[in-house]
Amino acid sequence: MSTRNRGGVLLLAVLLSTLTIPLAITGASVALPAIRADLGGALTAVQWVVNSYNVCFAAFLVCAGAVADALGRRRVYALGLALFCASGLLCLFVRDLAVLNLLRAAGGAGAAAAVAGGSAMVAAAFDGPARARAFGLLGTVLGAGTAFGPAAAGLLVQTLGWRAAFASPAAVAGLVLLLVRALPARRGTGGAVDVPGAVLFTLALLTLIAALAEGPRYGLPLVLTGLTVSAVLTAAFVLVERRAREPLVDLTLLANRRFVAYALAAAAFMAVLVPLLVYLPSYLIAVVGLGAGQAGMWLLMLTLPTLLLPAPGAELAARLPSTAVAVLALAGRTGERRADAPSS
């Protein structure tokens, strides 16, 4: 197969696997009421169907890039896809909520490995404008999955049951696995992976999320204990990273004010959007009384802008300073939150 054809197959594979990521998140969110009705369990326990995936995805994404460099990008990509596919398909047979949460955690780790390996292969296979177009397509696919994921998941849950919301993205990942042998392969560097840093970061993040998620159930003492433990683990992570030869995170980036500003801006957006995507479907179904399909369609008003606005945003960024665009976007988000607040 020619180099050009390999590049096309690679981009197709990574685009398809990237599409499964927002589907796996929004699908679980829409399915939560049906899962609780079928498997039972406390509300906080059911929410871990989403939380376990998100926590493992975020934690493993930090170290998956280093693992991909050390072991080989195609290998890590294939292993991540296989884990994601297997965990999603096994959800078809699960009868216990705890087992479902474990499968979702495994799926999050697999998705992180697939994202790290896939994006690294794309970056290595394309140069210049071609690389920019490739990553632009990746962003478009993520936007499309976020925009239409809740509606698609709602229809699946309403017609085929909640298990279909997990099996469908897994089936897509299984199809992508058939293309792996045609992807370009390079040997890993064999470099060391910062295992202590990865463990500390994962435990710190898991403790923080657990404290916030379980706080309403167990009360303020658990929240304060969890926050304290998470802070201690984070401090230990910083100390380990400063002494590591090949740190998991380059802490010198924190001295770059522009980097920190953009990171905080991205965190502000995600702090608003992701909780809405996770918890709003349950509210619409359990409180408002909508069906899963209707709830998914309602969420289009929230998610469709993620598909439609990146292009105008890029045009604004080309005409205005990028910092000005970020400030305008954050101001718009703040105004939206104030408008949603009830008047006294």
pLDDT score of 337 = 47
Q: Which of 67-71, 111-115, 270-274, 280-284 has the highest mean pLDDT?
A: 111-115
Q: Which pLDDT tens digit goes with each residue over 97-112?
A: 999 999 999 999 999 9
Instruction: Give the CATH H-level superfamily of domain 3-188+251-303.
Output: MFS general substrate transporter like domains (1.20.1250.20)
- State how far the Cα of 180 lies from the Cα of 85, in Å rounded to an integer: 14
Q: Which pLDDT tens digit goes with each residue over 221-256?
A: 888 999 999 999 999 999 998 888 878 777 888 888
Query: Residue 13 is encoded by which pair of tokens?
Result: 């594979």
Per-residue pLDDT for 73 more than 90?
Answer: no
Per-residue pLDDT for 1 more than 60?
Answer: no
DSSP for 93-159, written as a single string: T---HHHHHHHHHHHHHHHHHHHHHHHHHHHHH--HHHHHHHHHHHHHHHHHHHHHHHHHHHHHHHH
- State how far the Cα of 47 lies from the Cα of 44, in Å rounded to an integer: 5
pLDDT score of 255 = 82
Average pLDDT of span 45-53? 87
Per-residue pLDDT for 304 more than 80?
Answer: no
- State how far the Cα of 109 lies from the Cα of 3, in Å rounded to an integer: 30
Per-residue pLDDT for 84 more than 90?
Answer: yes
In the chain, the percentage of residues whose pLDDT exceeds 70 is 86
Residue ranges of domains in the chain = 3-188+251-303, 194-245
- State how far the Cα of 31 lies from the Cα of 150, in Å rounded to an integer: 10
Query: Residue 65 is encoded by which pair of tokens?
Result: 């890039």
pLDDT score of 243 = 85
